[in-house]
């Protein structure tokens, strides 16, 4: 069974990262281009990591927890001054 609270938190936290990234992309320029490239790279890496976790017997809750770590790191990076 999945932890619905963790899923809800992931959805809320991910929405914040989407907002921060959209603002950065809207400004354009080199930083926006780098952010877009990093975003795609991170999504591919996260997919591979999640697949490996599940294929080796890991739980969906473990995948959700790891995604939340990635989202938290992105939030911290995107809000750094």
Number of Cα atoms under 13 Å in the Cβ half of residue 53: 16
In the predicted structure, residue 81 carries a pLDDT above the cut 80? no
Q: How many CB atoms lie within 10 A of CB 28?
A: 9
pLDDT, tens digit (0-9, with 9 covering 90-100), for 22-64: 999 999 999 999 999 999 999 999 999 999 999 999 999 999 9
What's the pLDDT score for residue 58? 97
What's the pTM? 0.90
């Amino acid at each position: 069974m999945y932890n619905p609270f963790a899923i809800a938190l992931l959805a809320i936290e991910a929405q914040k990262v989407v907002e921060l990234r959209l603002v950065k992309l809207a400004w354009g320029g080199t930083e926006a281009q780098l952010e877009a490239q990093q975003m795609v790279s991170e999504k591919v890496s996260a997919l591979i990591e999640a697949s490996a976790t599940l294929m080796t017997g890991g739980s969906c809750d473990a995948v959700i927890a790891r995604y939340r770590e990635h989202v938290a790191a992105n939030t911290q990076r995107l809000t750094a001054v």
